[in-house]
Structure 1
Amino acid sequence: MTVKETKLKNCFIIEPKIFEDERGYFFESFNQLMFNKLTGKSVNFIQDNESFSSRGVLRGLHYQVGEYAQAKLVRVIKGNVLDVAVDIRKDSLTYGEYVAIELSEDNKKQLFIPRGFAHGFIVLSETAIFSYKCDNFYNKESEGGIIFNDKTLAIDWKLSSDKFIVSEKDKVLPAMENARL
């Protein structure tokens, strides 16, 4: 596997080594020892989640605060998404900046999103199965969010906004300047 740090400190793109032949392919989607060695991080993932969504579904931007903050390792099993991580660490030099990367069943890339980041994605294919590991359990009282169309972030979601399918809960999230950080 190869690991490349993004412009946001401690946020990494991970590309597995894929072995392909006439039978199909094989790759190691996660190896704790290699992950720790290549990122310099010691993360203990304790929960795996999976979602299925249709084209235009936009989930985010979500995060957990305080003792329930979560690091995530995300990937796409089926389909194609634009995945976005926003640095919400107030003491960070890249506070308020984001990275966006296409994750797909074809490229098999993963994104490691450390604690202190908001996260969201939009489905670019007809459907997508999205998988993520978390290093902390979800806690409803600790959830936070930023509206997907925050003008200061100006995220290019790669689809026309009239194609977005957004939950009622996500439609009323605050702008970053008013978010619970």
Structure 2
Amino acid sequence: MSNGWNHTAKIESLSFECGFCNNKVASDIGFFNNNNIDGLRARIRICPHCSKPTFFLGSKKLPDISPGNDVKSVPEEVHALYQEARNCISISAYTASVLISRKLLMNIAVSQGAKENLRFIEYVDFLAENGFVPPNGRGWVDHIRKKGNEATHEISLMDRDDATELVTFSEMLLKFIFEFPASVPALPSA
């Protein structure tokens, strides 16, 4: 092939976590490029569990694992934003993930009764003042706000650590507000 990519073939085996199915697998089937790309060896490996492709360029892998876990009993639009923030990290879109984590706070507040079209700080205050932030959690909500503001208003890129810490806190907040209360058994009628 003129572009250097070969047909599916047996290639050197590599163990990795599939970014699609999250299984730890080892694959020796895929595509390889006879030419280096940017001086790095390129491979496309086929997951033996879900049959989806993962692109490797040197040690970089796309898609990577999405950090965090699924959260139950979350309203559909809020859940979609949380998943989008996680998925952005899997494709190295860290600044986008931080921006979505900021937007997620606003959507959580509105889902819990805050009015729309407030200033962002008013959504943060609403969550804190109405018991939707766990004890000692106000600092984390402010951290999401500040990181989101930095990503929005400054010429700076966010990194994987920035995005992952915001997704981790967002997961905890979603569990605190939605999943845990929904899992409490109903009290018997008196």
User: What TM-score results when the alignment is normalised by the length of structure 1?
Assistant: 0.23
User: What TM-score results when the alignment is normalised by the length of structure 2?
Assistant: 0.23
Task: Give 1 or 2: higher helix fraction.
Answer: 2
Task: Give 1 or 2: higher strand fraction.
Answer: 1
